[in-house]
């Protein structure tokens, strides 16, 4: 058992004993270390002003990823290297990213600039990325410039980030790896007492035992949702159990039949695997939050959260995913759609936790489509999320799995529409009409700040029609705005 967290910063190993269960990394940097280069903006992981870089060993390689320090708990950086904007310049020599930002006038008022710098620092150290404006804008989607100075920032990224690394971090990479390996251990972390603590078990058995004793504790994986409970809801969460140190819980195992995703596997870690299942699924992953969110946020957390507007559950339900749960009393599996009982309530017993899920691959006679509808393309919550898997034989739909988010109190299948599509033919759109009508009975969506009930229903019906049109042979660029735009850009290039 260890009663401290340990991490690396500026080449120094730091060990902290007094770590509060809800103390954020941003508060530690600004209030304790007085390193105020990292700015406090939205406090919810949207604006990127608080971006820092976290370095970890991933598959034997030192990888730097951007994270939002405002919603990341201090205890969650145990075993990692922490890099802030104060660490970049060496001996009065600016980092190459900083130099490019200065020379190309990328810095505007300066409030958001450190966050941009840190995201670009991680791009500078990224491997196997294509040099393009698209790459840069995807990387910077989680950073907001309040002075609308994006063009010179993108120019600076193109100038600095796609060349051989030549900075202090690359020079001492081997030393950093050795220190991170030294920090890695298999001891459980427990800081506090039975009335309040930050804990990080290292095994599933340890987690089951601890959670069995403290069923009122909060489980946290990536913190992209629980962090907002702290910064926005101002909840008192005296007992915090972080799952990030449990060996094997971050597994991503691909097989001929499907992909097994551990509960703490991040969106970033699973993106390639889910893209192999479906290109649509990979595109959905890219629209979940930002680079910062996807580096921290976990698929398991999105599922366990149970939000009716979560992006992954409808797609995974349509694919027929199976959920794994465990407690001190044993483990069990169930179809993902059966996990959601009603708004705010899941089929999870006291002391039980999600350990992973299995996502099957499509068979040769199956087609899958999914669509996220939101007001903004990047970093926005869905108004409606639709996912569709069709099993087809000789041009006839013999089975369907249709799931929506944003249409009910939970992610939910459209049972009536599925039944009505049985026997429909792809070359006869008139045979789809009963399924469109059945959606009216399958759902009674609410009206809220994101969309009206009528909008949600019409959109749901349109998405079903779009999916059927695409698998019937309609080119995506004819009915997808972004696909058409990208096709035009390719032709122009």
pLDDT recorded at residue 257 = 97
| Mean of pLDDT values over 214-232 | 96
pLDDT recorded at residue 492 = 47
Cβ burial, residue 489 (10 Å; 0-12/13-18/19+): exposed
Burial 233-261, CB ≥16 within 10 A → b, else e:
eeeebbbbbbbbbbeebbebeeeeebbbb
| Mean of pLDDT values over 271-300 | 96
**What 8-state DSSP symbol labels residue 79?**
T
493 — pLDDT class (breaks 50, 70, 90): very low
pLDDT recorded at residue 486 = 56
Taking domain 5-183, whether its CATH number is 3.10.20.30 is answered by yes
**pLDDT, tens digit (0-9, with 9 covering 90-100), for 68-114:** 999 999 999 999 999 999 999 998 899 999 999 999 999 878 899 99
pLDDT recorded at residue 146 = 79
CATH placement of domain 252-360: 3.30.465.10
- pTM metric for this prediction: 0.93
477 — pLDDT class (breaks 50, 70, 90): confident
| Mean of pLDDT values over 377-403 | 95
Q: Which residue has the tokens 């691909």?
A: 254
Provide the residue ranges of all domains of the chain, joining segments of one domain with +.
5-183, 189-242, 252-360, 366-484
| Mean of pLDDT values over 229-233 | 95
Task: Evaluate if residue 488 carries a pLDDT over 60.
Answer: no
Task: Evaluate if residue 8 carries a pLDDT over 50.
Answer: yes
- The CATH number of domain 366-484, selected from 3.30.70.1140, 3.30.1780.10, 3.30.390.50, 3.30.300.30: 3.30.390.50
User: Looking at 99-226, which runs of residues are DSSP E strands?
Assistant: 189-193, 196-200, 218-220
**pLDDT, tens digit (0-9, with 9 covering 90-100), for 343-389:** 989 999 999 999 999 999 999 999 999 999 999 888 889 999 999 99
Q: Between β-strands 5-9 and 12-16, what pairing exists: parallel, antiparallel or unpaired?
A: antiparallel
Tokens of 337: 């759609």
**pLDDT, tens digit (0-9, with 9 covering 90-100), for 441-461:** 999 999 998 899 999 999 999
* CA–CA gap between residue 269 and residue 294 (Å, rounded): 9
pLDDT recorded at residue 483 = 58
* CA–CA gap between residue 246 and residue 458 (Å, rounded): 44
| Mean of pLDDT values over 24-43 | 97
pLDDT recorded at residue 377 = 87
Task: Evaluate if residue 49 carries a pLDDT over 50.
Answer: yes
**What 8-state DSSP symbol labels residue 80?**
S
Determine which helix (DSSP H) or strand (DSSP E) holds 475, and give its type and residue range.
none
Give the DSSP letter string of 247-276: TTTT-EEE-SSEEEEETT-BHHHHHHHHHH
Flag the least confident range among 144-158, 221-235, 242-256. Answer: 144-158
pLDDT recorded at residue 92 = 85
**pLDDT, tens digit (0-9, with 9 covering 90-100), for 103-153:** 999 987 889 999 999 999 999 999 999 999 999 999 999 999 878 779 999
Cβ burial, residue 19 (10 Å; 0-12/13-18/19+): buried
Q: Which residue has the tokens 């810095």?
A: 107
Using CA of residue 477, residue 482, residue 488, residue 490, what is the dihedral sign?
A: negative
Cβ burial, residue 62 (10 Å; 0-12/13-18/19+): middle
Angle at which helix 113-124 crosses helix 150-160, to 10 degrees, equals 30
pLDDT recorded at residue 108 = 79
Tokens of 399: 């089975």
pLDDT recorded at residue 490 = 52
pLDDT recorded at residue 431 = 96
Q: Could you tell me the fold of the domain covering 189-242?
A: 3.30.43
| Mean of pLDDT values over 184-212 | 96
């Amino acid at each position: 058992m260890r009663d401290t967290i340990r991490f690396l910063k500026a080449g120094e190993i730091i060990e902290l004993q007094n770590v509060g269960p809800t103390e954020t990394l941003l508060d530690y940097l600004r209030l304790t270390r007085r390193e105020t280069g990292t700015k406090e903006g939205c406090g919810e992981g949207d604006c990127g002003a608080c971006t820092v870089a976290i370095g970890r060993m991933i598959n034997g390689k030192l990888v730097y990823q951007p994270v939002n320090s405002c919603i990341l708990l201090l205890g969650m950086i145990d075993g990692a290297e922490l890099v802030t904007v104060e660490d970049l310049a060496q001996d009065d020599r600016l980092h190459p990213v900083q130099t490019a930002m200065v020379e190309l006038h990328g810095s505007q008022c300066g409030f958001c600039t450190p966050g941009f710098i840190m995201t670009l620092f991680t791009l500078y150290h990224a491997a196997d990325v294509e040099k393009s404006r698209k790459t840069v804008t995807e990387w910077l989607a989680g950073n907001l410039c309040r002075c609308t100075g994006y063009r010179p920032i993108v120019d600076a990224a193109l100038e600095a980030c796609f060349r051989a690394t030549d900075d202090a971090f690359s020079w001492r990479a081997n030393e950093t790896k050795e220190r991170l390996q030294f920090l890695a251990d298999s001891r459980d972390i427990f800081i506090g007492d039975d009335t309040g603590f930050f804990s990080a078990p290292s095994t599933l058995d340890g987690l089951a035992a601890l959670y069995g004793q403290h069923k009122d504790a909060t489980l946290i994986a990536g913190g992209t949702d629980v962090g907002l409970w702290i910064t926005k809801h101002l909840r008192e969460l005296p007992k915090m159990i972080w799952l990030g140190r449990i060996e094997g819980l971050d597994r991503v195992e691909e097989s001929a039949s499907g992909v097994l995703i551990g509960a703490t596997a991040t969106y970033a870690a699973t993106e390639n695997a889910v893209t192999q299942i479906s290109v649509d699924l990979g595109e959905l992953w890219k629209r979940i939050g930002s680079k910062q969110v996807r580096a921290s946020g976990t698929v398991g957390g999105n599922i366990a959260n149970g939000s009716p507007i979560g992006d992954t559950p409808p797609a995974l339900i349509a694919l027929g995913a199976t959920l794994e749960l465990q407690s001190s009393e044993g483990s069990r599996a169930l179809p993902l759609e059966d996990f959601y009982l009603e708004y705010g309530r899941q089929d999870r017993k006291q002391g039980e936790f999600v350990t992973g899920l299995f996502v099957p691959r499509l068979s040769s006679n199956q087609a899958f489509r999914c669509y996220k509808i939101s007001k903004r393309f990047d970093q926005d919550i869905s108004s409606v999320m639709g996912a569709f898997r069709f099993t087809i034989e000789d041009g006839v739909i013999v089975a369907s799995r249709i799931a929506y988010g944003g249409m009910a109190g939970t992610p939910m299948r459209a049972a009536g529409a599925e039944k009505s599509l049985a026997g429909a033919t792809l070359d006869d759109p008139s045979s789809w009409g009963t399924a469109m009508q059945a959606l009216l009975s399958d759902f009674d969506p609410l009206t809220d700040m994101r969309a009206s009930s009528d909008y949600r229903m019409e959109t749901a019906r349109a998405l079903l029609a779009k999916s059927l049109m695409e698998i019937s042979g309609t080119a995506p660029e004819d009915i997808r705005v972004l696909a058409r735009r990208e096709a035009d850009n390719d032709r122009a290039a």
